[in-house]
Structure formats: structure tokens, C-alpha cells
């Protein structure tokens, strides 16, 4: 029996990296998946490669209206909503707090934190009707600081707090809500924005002396989405090759 048979999921930022690996694994496990992303080319290509179990919808995670639209379309197309992975995110500036661009601060908070709130705000009433699971993509940087990344770190700490609070609020309402904290994972977000020297340094910050793979994060998302994690809510789960262990 597939683990997500007859389940309907939304995955934001589903066209690339970690989100894409989650979409692919969820479909393999029997779910119907609405892939949401700003990148229309990659999202359409992915949906076409996976067939009728998926639909791509262009949507901006920082827009409340777009988040509402995603829930409406998922229900209209697939009949219900059981699972949401609020995963869309960006990196932002590399600067000290004193030098950090004010517009960049707002943009990172809008996508990485407000986007998760808007997502849950519209997903929860629908998921509550049938029971299910929400997974918010935090980071190891939702637990510890990281120089020159204030907006990203603040947003990810916010995602962890929001997850704990929502987990409490919905503990008896049939919706489990958890956050995932990946270490540095080899995706376009990391590979395209950091030079080789930085990537080599980051490898040494993980006990396993390497970066993670998107598929390794997707396995944790699957467990949290499935009934196998039935007594798990309001929690933060690292998948970080030992980054936080030092």
C-alpha cells in the first residue's frame, strides 16, 4: 500500500530543489499534488513529466490571494486537501544588519515567513474538514544564527514559532503541523549563489562532511505527511547531517 494513497497535497516552491523532490516522492507514494511556484517553465515541465496526478499553478507565496487560490484549485480539481508543504523560499542579501537592504529584508520576510502564515491561514479550514498534515520548511537557521543572513534567519526562526503555535491550536482538530530544518542542501538556491570555497567550508560544518540531497529532505516530509507520524505535532525536525550537533 502506498503511503499517500487518496491524499491531496499542495507543495509551494515545488518546481525546484527540495520542493521538486517532495512532489516526486509524494506522487510516487500515491498522492495527487498541486505544484505551486513562480517559475512557470520548470513547474509546467515537472507537472507534464508526472502526468494526471499533478497540476501546476503559478502562484506567489507572498500573496494572500494566491494562497487562497491554491486551496480552491486543489479542492476543485482533486476533491479535498489533506497535506500542505509550505516550502517556497529565497536566500536574500549577504550583509550585516547595518548594511542589509530594507527592501530585501521585507521581501525575504514576505516570502519565507508571511508566505507560510498565509498558506496555513487558508489551508487549515480545508484540511480540518478531512484531517491531515502541514509541513513548513524551516532550516537549521531556524534554530541558530548565521552571519550576514539576518532576514533569512529571522524568517526561519519565525516559521518554527508559528509551527509550534499552530500545532498547539490544532492538536485536537485532526491537523498535525510540523517544521523541517534542513542543513545545507545541494539545490539551485545554494549551488548557484555560493562560490566553491564557501561550499567546501559549509561541507565541513556538517558532521557528515557533505551537503545534503533534496531526496533526503523529501523522505522526512513523507514521514511527517503520512499516518506513520500520527503522534507528532508542533515539532521541529532537523535533517542536517549533524550540523546542529556541534
Piece in contact with ligand NAD (CB under 6 A), picked from 71-79, 118-126, 171-179, 188-196: 188-196
Cell for 167? 500545532
Q: Of 26, 134, 127, nearest to 75 (Cα)?
A: 127
| Residue number with CB closer to ligand NAD (166 or 221) | 221
- Minimum separation from the CB atom of position 217 to ligand NAD (A): 8
Stretch that binds ligand NAD, among 34-42, 127-135, 169-177, 224-232 (CB under 6 A): 34-42
CA 92 vs CA 62, 95, 104: distances in Å: 14, 9, 6
Distance CA 30, CA 97 (A): 45
How far apart are CB 117 and ligand NAD at their closest, in Å? 14
Please tell me whether residue 190 binds ligand NAD under the rule CB under 6 A. Answer: yes
Among 100, 184, 236, 237, binds ligand NAD (CB under 6 A): 184
Q: State the nearest-atom distance from the C-beta of 40 to ligand NAD, in Å.
A: 9
Beta-bridge partners for 33? 9, 54
C-alpha–C-alpha distance, residues 239 and 203, integer Å:
14
Return the CA Rg of the chain.
17
Q: Does 185 bind ligand NAD (CB under 6 A)?
A: yes
3-state helix/strand/coil string of 185-223: ECCHHHHCCCCHHHHHHHHHCCCCCCCECHHHHHHHHHH
Query: By CB under 6 A, what part of segment 66-125 binds ligand NAD?
Result: 87-90, 111
Of the residues 92, 119, 167, 182, which one makes contact with ligand NAD according to CB under 6 A: 182
Nearest to 20 by CA among 156, 188, 134, 135: 188
Nearer residue to ligand NAD within complex by CB, 80 or 189: 189
* Cβ 172 to ligand NAD shortest distance, Å: 29
Helix and strand counts by DSSP (H, E) for the chain: 9, 7
Contact 83, 137 (CB under 8 A): no
Report the side by side order of strands in the sheet with 32-37: 54-58, 32-37, 8-12, 83-86, 132-137, 175-182, 236-239
Catalytic residue among 152, 170, 236, 243: 152
Concerning whether 152 is annotated as a catalytic residue, the answer is: yes
Q: How far is the CB of 231 from ligand NAD (least distance, A)?
A: 25
C-alpha cell, 150 = 539576518
Question: Does 13 engage in binding with ligand NAD (CB under 6 A)?
Answer: yes
Q: Is 139 in the site for ligand NAD (CB under 6 A)?
A: yes
Q: Select from 10, 17, 127, 220 the one that contacts ligand NAD (CB under 6 A).
A: 17
Residues that bind ligand NAD (CB under 6 A): 12-13, 15-19, 37-39, 60-62, 87-90, 111, 137, 139, 182, 184-185, 187-190
- Active site positions, annotated: 152
Amino acid at each position: 500500500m502506498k503511503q499517500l494513497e487518496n491524499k491531496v497535497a499542495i507543495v509551494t516552491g515545488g518546481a525546484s530543489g527540495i520542493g521538486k523532490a517532495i512532489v516526486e516522492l509524494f506522487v510516487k507514494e500515491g498522492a495527487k499534488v498541486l505544484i505551486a511556484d513562480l517559475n512557470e517553465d520548470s513547474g509546467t515541465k515537472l507537472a507534464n513529466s508526472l502526468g494526471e496526478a499533478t497540476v501546476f499553478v503559478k502562484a506567489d507565496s507572498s500573496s494572500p490571494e494566491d494562497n487562497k487560490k491554491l486551496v480552491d484549485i486543489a479542492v476543485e480539481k482533486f476533491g479535498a486537501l489533506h497535506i500542505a508543504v509550505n516550502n517556497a523560499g529565497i536566500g536574500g542579501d549577504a550583509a550585516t544588519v547595518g548594511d542589509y537592504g530594507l527592501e530585501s529584508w521585507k521581501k525575504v520576510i514576505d516570502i519565507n515567513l508571511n508566505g507560510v502564515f498565509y498558506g496555513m491561514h487558508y489551508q487549515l479550514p480545508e484540511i480540518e474538514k478531512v484531517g491531515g498534515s502541514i509541513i513548513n520548511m524551516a532550516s537549521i537557521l531556524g534554530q541558530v544564527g548565521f552571519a550576514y543572513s539576518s532576514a533569512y534567519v529571522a524568517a526561519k526562526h519565525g516559521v518554527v514559532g508559528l509551527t509550534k503555535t499552530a500545532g498547539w491550536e490544532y492538536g485536537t482538530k485532526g491537523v498535525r503541523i510540523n517544521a523541517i530544518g534542513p542543513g545545507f542542501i545541494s539545490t539551485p538556491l545554494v549551488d548557484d549563489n555560493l562560490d566553491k570555497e564557501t561550499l567546501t567550508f559549509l561541507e565541513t560544518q556538517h558532521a557528515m562532511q557533505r551537503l545534503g540531497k533534496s531526496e533526503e529532505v523529501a523522505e522526512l516530509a513523507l514521514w511527517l505527511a503520512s499516518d506513520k507520524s500520527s503522534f507528532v505535532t508542533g515539532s521541529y525536525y532537523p535533517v542536517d547531517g549533524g550540523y546542529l550537533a556541534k
